[in-house]
Amino acid sequence: MEFKDIIWLGHASFAIRAGKKLLYVDPFRIGGFSEHADTVLVTHPHFDHFSVDEIKNVSGQETEVFVPKDSVDKVKHVKAIGVEPFKSYSSNGINFRTIPAYNVEKERLQFHPRANGWVSYIIEANGLKIFHPGDTDNVDEMEGLDVDIALLPIGGTYTMDVDQAIAASKRINAKAFVPMHYKAVLGRERADEAEQKFLRNVRNSHLLKEFGEPYYSFE
């Protein structure tokens, strides 16, 4: 599996090249990576996924920013398009669709309620289907999902932990699985343990090298 066109910028932030176009997902603390965005996708409005400053820094007048409908009014400098679950969209020749992203575990239901209409994205780029789930638990909408690359959060607290991500991987038909959204949550030692557990228990699992500093703190 080739990952050269998928750049992990840290946490849940990715840049994806699609031919001559560049798409960002949830840009946050992307540091020195400042290439112009043709399209930006935002999964939900929490600060570590939706940074208006970062979006502004990488956007031009023609950039299209897709955000959940409850957050369209927060993007004022470029074209903002509201998204909702179970819809298909196209931007600058890049096609993508959405499914719901939400919590089902009792201890975190308040963080990402399904009623908010926040999303995961299935992105088509360079002949690949890439699943970026945003912040979510192991939800029924993942059952039978057919993609090439599935990015899965493993940090716990706000999303799936590594054990729940392992269970989710068994519901998804993917050629490769990549962990995300954990280093800033877990810290170095626990993050390393989670990585190794993911690699041991998830078929076709891979680690991506981050562009930026991996172990920053939110505090």
The residue among 169, 160, 164, 116 whose CA lies nearest residue 142 is 169
E strand residue ranges, 31-118: 37-41, 59-68, 79-83, 88-91, 94-100
* pTM, entire model: 0.95
- What structural domains does the chain harbor? 6-201 (3.60.15.10)
One digit per residue, the tens of pLDDT, for the chain of length 219 reads: 568 899 999 999 999 999 899 999 999 988 788 899 999 999 999 999 999 999 999 998 899 999 999 999 998 888 899 999 999 999 999 999 999 999 998 888 788 888 899 999 999 998 899 999 999 999 999 999 999 999 999 999 889 999 999 999 999 999 999 999 999 888 899 999 999 999 999 999 999 988 877 666 665
Angle at which helix 188-201 crosses helix 162-169, to 10 degrees, equals 20
